[in-house]
């Protein structure tokens, strides 16, 4: 599990500090959720309950917001997110094969994180690089005109960079 996803007393103290600042804002929920995601690496129910109590919002509303927006997660994400575009242009050019290859190589499915906490795999709708279809992203890096060999080469480079 990614060390960033642990809920420690230090992280809780930092979160409460940010929460107090956010309470002074008009509409404190979104900034608070962003802070929680950044501090803990995800927004589990325990943290949602704290937010609910402190901001006097229902758990249902908070959980609805957390599960609606893709940049929030209720489960820990890896240090790197790999996104595979399944938008129309990418899909017709073979992005499903790219997704399948990454799943096979990392031994995880879409939406899962590797056991070591390094990578989270996410299928996406469109990342705005249709001219390079099919594409996948690793963090902020976009890999266009993706092929199975490009996927394997990129994953190998990433694994070597960790060592």
Statement to judge: residues 9 and 43 lie in one domain: yes
- Tokens 């900034």: give the residue: 31
Q: How many domains does the chain have?
A: 2
Token pair, residue 148, equals 């199975």
Statement to judge: residues 133 and 87 lie in one domain: yes
List pLDDT tens digits, range 126-162.
888 999 999 999 988 999 999 999 999 999 998 888 7
Statement to judge: residues 64 and 87 lie in one domain: no
List pLDDT tens digits, range 36-66.
998 998 999 999 999 999 999 999 999 999 9
> Which residue in 65, 59, 5, 11 sits closest to 33, CA to CA?
65
Host domain of residue 12:
3-68
Domain boundary among 14, 39, 68: 68
Domain boundary among 43, 68, 93: 68
């Amino acid at each position: 599990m990614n060390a960033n996803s642990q809920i420690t007393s230090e992280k809780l103290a930092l979160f409460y500090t940010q929460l107090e600042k956010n309470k002074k804002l008009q509409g404190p929920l979104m900034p608070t959720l962003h802070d929680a995601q950044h501090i803990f690496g995800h927004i589990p129910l325990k943290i949602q309950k704290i937010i609910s109590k402190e901001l006097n919002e229902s758990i249902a509303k908070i959980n609805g917001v957390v599960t609606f927006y893709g940049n929030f997660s209720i489960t820990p994400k890896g240090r790197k997110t790999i996104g595979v575009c399944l938008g129309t242009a990418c899909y017709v050019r073979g992005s499903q094969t790219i997704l399948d290859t990454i799943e096979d190589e990392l031994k995880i499915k879409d939406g899962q994180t590797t056991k070591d906490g390094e990578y989270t795999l996410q299928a996406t709708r469109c990342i705005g690089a249709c001219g390079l279809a099919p594409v996948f992203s690793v963090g902020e890096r976009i890999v266009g005109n993706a092929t199975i060999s490009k996927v394997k080469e990129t994953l190998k480079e990433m694994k070597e960079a960790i060592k």
